Amino acid sequence: MKIWPESLPVPDAVAGFLRGVGRPNPVFDLKLDQCALLVIDMQNDFILPGAPLEGWNCMAIVPKITELVLFFRAHGRPVIWTKHIHQLNDIGILAPMWPATGPDSPAKALVKGTPGVEIVADLPAPADDELVIEKHRYSAFYQTDLELNLRTMDVKTLLITGVNTDICCETTARDGFMRDFQIMSVADAQTAITRELHEAALISTLVAFGRVAETAQVIEELEQSVS
């Protein structure tokens, strides 16, 4: 089993470091009955062509996330969605970082009640029994009930998909790891502002916070865990 996808250009120095610290391969096994799928911020304002916060390769990850959502639903496992939304005075320190974001911005991006905050129509809509979390900062754990729900569902492993790999996905991955959740970042089901930022974030996760694999490998491993 590969320690990372062939499509991810891991520097020799990083590979050497992982060998040097004796990293097991894989660092943990996926077990479907312990997993939840987290779909982060797949909203119109991030994903649609020409959207104010559109990044690299955004629409290309939609089929991969769709495949994972349908797989998890077919096996009765949790699918959890997040939306990054701002209203009134909750944007705070993010305002100068993202001038096109929030109620006072010219673009009115990620503003509650606007079409831009809705999950892209190309994805399956969240089911009635699936948790949809509204968050106001990068991490899906910050001031939300995500952890409470995960503990209640006895989830031990988070499969992270969505945008942006290096911002909300990675921050959530780090926060989840700090809470003792196993982290699987699904490489071809995440994207960022640029390919370089996407790849750098995946390598960072690989080194210190969890595993990185592509959708096909993830599904294959999950299927094997229940066979």
Local confidence pLDDT in tens for the 227 residues of the chain: 678 898 999 999 999 999 999 999 999 999 999 999 999 999 999 999 999 999 999 999 999 999 999 999 999 999 999 999 999 889 999 999 999 899 988 889 999 999 999 999 999 999 999 999 999 999 999 999 999 999 999 999 999 999 999 999 999 999 999 999 999 999 999 999 999 999 999 999 999 999 999 999 999 999 999 97
Q: Which of 168, 163, 112 is nearest to 137 (CA)?
A: 168
Other Cβ atoms closer than 10 A to 89:
10
Angle between helix 195-208 and 12-20 (nearest 10):
10
For residue 17, tell me if it sits in a domain.
Answer: no
For residue 12, tell me if it sits in a domain.
Answer: no
For residue 92, tell me if it sits in a domain.
Answer: yes
Six-digit token string for 104? 């006072």
For residue 23, tell me if it sits in a domain.
Answer: no
Six-digit token string for 81? 């969605």
pTM of the model: 0.97
Separation between Cα atoms, residue 218 and residue 80, nearest integer Å: 17
Other Cβ atoms closer than 10 A to 225:
14
For residue 22, tell me if it sits in a domain.
Answer: no
The CATH number assigned to the domain holding 58 equals: 3.40.50.850
Q: Given phi > 0 = left and psi -120 to 50 = alpha, else beta, which region is 91?
A: alpha
- Contact call for residues 45 and 3 (beta carbons, < 8 A): no
Cis before 44? omega within 30: no
How many structural domains does the chain have?
A: 1
3-class SS of residue 59: helix
For residue 195, tell me if it sits in a domain.
Answer: yes
Range of the domain at 45: 28-225
For residue 139, tell me if it sits in a domain.
Answer: yes
For residue 167, tell me if it sits in a domain.
Answer: yes
